[in-house]
Amino acid sequence: MGRKTKGVIRERKDYTGLLLELQGKSPSPPPQPVADASEHKTPYSPYRQRIMSDEAVKYLYSKRGGPFHDKSCPKAQHIPDEELGYSEKYLSNISQCPLCAVKAYVRLGAKDFYNYPLYEKLFRRMRFTPVLLRRMYVNEKIRTSASSNGLTIWGKEDSWRLEFWDGSDTMRLMHNNYYPLPDGTRIFTGGYHLQAERATANYAFTAISGYTYADHKAAMLKREQEQFALKVDALPEGFSAEKDDLSGAKKKVFWVWKKFIELLRKFFRK
């Protein structure tokens, strides 16, 4: 055999290619190796195997310092067994590894962590930044579930929908329906009503994390009172009590109270 030329002399096991070459047709590409045996992962020690298979364990870190990891993070694999710390809870006092941050936050707050690939897609489309996700899941302890057209988000007391509509990337924020009861509590009546026709991730977060029904009621009452104060300033002529005219002053007070109670009634009917 003469001098070997690169790429030409190759030991042949399959002659189909050769046949095609002889016929002037291009041979099929060489078969890909099925698996690269040299790339196999180091097997976990029994200690680590026990930690990794424990579903309650969600996070890993090194007891000697360094960042906090989602248990799936490849960087956590480099922590030696003797330094390996693990946690069921999210430990916010340890700085988060940026590589696994979003996954760690979703593992913390999602009711459907198995939907993680969908979350990644939604967050990109909805423009949620890791910083915003941290505030949402870690600081505000917000819970979520994902569907193809948006997120259901549970805030302090209420549930919300941040969803795409109009067949575009435009998002709207929906708020759960409720009926107020005279004792100041509510019953949730199912379904959602429109809260904002155009919402960004930031807007939704601010609206949801800031909302409690008590604050909402207080804000509504304050607004009613302010509007009412404006009306009192513009009392009709007949009510301008003259000096020393006690009955006029009493009438004014009575009128003020009557209006105030009317407003309260109106408010609680809402």
The footprint of Zn ion (CB under 5 A) covers 69, 73, 75, 97, 99-100
Residue 166: left (phi > 0), alpha (psi -120 to 50), or beta?
left
Residue 90, helix vs strand vs coil: coil
The Cα 253–Cα 257 span in angstroms is 6
Cα–chain-centroid distance for residue 31?
45
Minimum separation from the CB atom of position 2 to Zn ion (A):
56
Q: What's the closest the beta carbon of residue 46 comes to Zn ion, in angstroms?
A: 23
Q: What is the DSSP letter of 147?
A: E
CA distances, 247 to each of 217, 232, 234, 241, 260 (Å): 35, 18, 19, 8, 20
What burial letters (b/e) apply to 30-65, b meaning 16+ CB within 10 Å?
A: eeeeeeeeeeeeeeeeeebeebbeeeeebbbbbeee
- CA 206 to CA 48: how far, in whole Å? 40
Closer of 28 and 95 to Zn ion (Cβ): 95
Measured from the CB of residue 68, what is the shortest distance to Zn ion in angstroms? 8
Closer CB to Zn ion, 73 or 174, in the complex? 73
Question: How far apart, in whole angstroms, are the C-alpha atoms of residue 266 and residue 227?
Answer: 14
First to last CA, the chain: 96
Nearest approach, Cβ of 115 to Zn ion (angstroms)?
A: 20
Q: Report the alpha-carbon distance of residue 205 to residue 142 in Å, rounded.
A: 9
Choice between 102 and 162, CB closer to Zn ion: 102
CB of 173 to Zn ion, least distance (A): 32
User: Considering beta carbons, is residue 116 or 228 the nearer one to Zn ion?
Assistant: 116
Q: Which is nearer to Zn ion, 84 or 263 (CB)?
A: 84
Q: Least distance from C-beta 122 to Zn ion, angstroms?
A: 21
